Structure 1
């Protein structure tokens, strides 16, 4: 079973590098039945990080990672909270991390830290967020408006007006609840 959010929840994957940011956002416990928080314990977080690194590096096989320490998990959860706040426009504590980049002989730039997976994900998320903000794609990374869902999705609508990760699942459920509430309010007002 894949631990990546796109496969785990059936969400369309964001294009390019911003998909790493989306993967971080979709590590939380969601769905029915509830799936575990991938940053909740060290072994599961290591498996997730291994899978994300492999996907980001073109499926390159790597040796398995040791379980992450609690301090690493706290750093990753703090990063996730800061990114959620940034995507939703909520105030949050800032995050600082050292980002080290390298350029090879062909001129390709990449994030360094392959031997330090937590440093790699922190750096990669920050770099991809910066690039997405500069390109305008950051406004397309959203959190589903259904409070029971909260999945991260990439809004592909022309006018960036999407609010549901899947309009047929979350949109219909919320709209049906609102319609029933309006009907009940109308019936109550008519009976008064």
Structure 2
């Protein structure tokens, strides 16, 4: 189980387009949502949330997980997905929808507060809570760590509905909007059909 999410540490010879520390957990959390490609809901109930948290190393197998925990995790994830959709310029991920997601993230952060642990080697954010609250706090720590880097805008959710898979945009100019060329092609084909059908 991770003890903290590192912040402000420089990796040796890190590529400019390397995924920031913590971003992998953020994307794994985002990608628990169902997609149009048939991926199931992985946080649908207490049992499935418990399985994901244990597999992610965020809780021990004996930790009790409730249906309310699962609902809270889905709400946190969905707010985060909205922010990542805004990063990819997705339609509907601006204005009040984005503001509501950002408000939810602030409220959640107040429920699962983080504590900075500062040493000679650097600093980490960690949670002093236990169980599921600690796990959700560590997800918030990973989000915070990633947002504090210049790569935050490269964490995106695929613009192709209903895919919305989270991905790290490694294009040189950070212009990626789709998780794959297949999703980009689907959007292009839909736009072409609409143009052909319009009078």
TM over 0.5: yes
Q: Tell me the CA shift for residue 110 of structure 1.
A: 5.7
CA gap of 1:175–1:119, structure 2 versus 1, over 3 A, is same
Find the aligned partners of 1:25 and 1:98 in 2 and give their Cα distance: 20
Are positions 1:135 and 2:160 aligned together? Answer: no
Tell me which of 103, 106, 126 is aligned to 1:111.
126
Which residue in 2 is equivalent to 1:180? 193
Tell me which of 134, 146, 166 is aligned to 2:180.
166
Question: What pairs with 1:40-51 in structure 2 (closer than 5 Å)?
Answer: 40-51=44-55
Find the aligned partners of 1:109 and 1:38 in 2 and give their Cα distance: 28
TM-score using structure 1 length: 0.72
CA gap of 1:174–1:48, structure 2 versus 1, over 3 A, is same
State the 4+ residue runs in structure 1 displaced beyond 4 angstroms: 101-108
Which residue in 1 is equivalent to 2:77? 80
Q: Tell me the CA shift for residue 126 of structure 1.
A: 1.9
Find the aligned partners of 2:148 and 2:57 in 1 and give their Cα distance: 23
Aligned residues: 164
SS at match of 1:135: coil
Tell me which of 127, 130, 134 is aligned to 1:120.
134
Find the aligned partners of 1:121 and 1:138 in 2 and give their Cα distance: 21
Q: Tell me the CA shift for residue 145 of structure 1.
A: 0.8
Which residue in 1 is equivalent to 2:6? none
Are positions 1:16 and 2:21 aligned together? Answer: yes
User: Which structure 2 residue ranges, 5 or more long, are not aligned?
Assistant: 1-17, 87-93
Find the aligned partners of 2:71 and 2:162 in 1 and give their Cα distance: 24
Tell me which of 128, 137, 155 is aligned to 2:169.
155
Judge conservation of contact 1:100–1:123 (CA < 8 Å) in 2.
no
Q: Tell me the CA shift for residue 180 of structure 1.
A: 2.9
Q: Tell me the CA shift for residue 171 of structure 1.
A: 0.6
Find the aligned partners of 2:81 and 2:113 in 1 and give their Cα distance: 20
Structure having greater relative contact order (Cα 8 Å, sep ≥ 6): 2
RMSD: 2.7
CA gap of 1:85–1:184, structure 2 versus 1, over 3 A, is closer
Higher Cα Rg, which structure:
1
Judge conservation of contact 1:45–1:67 (CA < 8 Å) in 2.
no
Offset from partner CA, 1:155-175 (integer Å, 9 cap, x none): 1111111000002x1011111
Judge conservation of contact 2:114–2:125 (CA < 8 Å) in 1.
no
Find the aligned partners of 2:176 and 2:34 in 1 and give their Cα distance: 22
Are positions 1:68 and 2:65 aligned together? Answer: yes
